[in-house]
Amino acid sequence: MTKILVYAYTQRSYSSRQIAKAVREQTPFLWLTGRQTPDFRTIHRFRGERMKAIVDEVLFTGILTLWIEEGYVTLDAFVDGTKVEANANRSP
């Protein structure tokens, strides 16, 4: 079920009903599920009850640690986005 959700998010499909429809109709989803077709309620329950703990504790921490080890991000400085002014509409 995790594979389905990750692939659906990469395809910009976030709704449980859209994901359930894709599982019934699209070959990559059928391959990921082994031709099982969970309905939208099952997908919703999994995402709400089980996936939330996985994402919050394991996945987010793991990805952040990997990015730090690879040098993509540092925790040295933090910029609050509300304090940065944009210059898109300023005249020269």
Residue spans per domain, the chain:
2-76
Phi-psi map region of 80: left, alpha, beta (phi>0 left; psi -120 to 50 alpha) = beta
pTM of the model: 0.58
User: Buried (b) or exposed (e) across 48-67, using 16+ Cβ within 10 A?
Assistant: eeebeeeeeeeeeeeeeeee
Averaged over 73-89, what is the pLDDT?
64
Euclidean distance between CA atoms 44 and 11, whole angstroms:
17
Alpha carbon distance 29, 4 (integer Å): 7
Question: Quick check: 29 and 23 in contact, CB under 8 A?
Answer: yes
Q: Residue 82 has what pLDDT? A: 62
Give the pLDDT confidence of 24-78 residue by residue, as tens digits. 999 999 999 998 889 999 999 988 888 777 776 777 788 888 888 998 887 776 6
29 close to 10: Cβ distance less than 8 angstroms: no
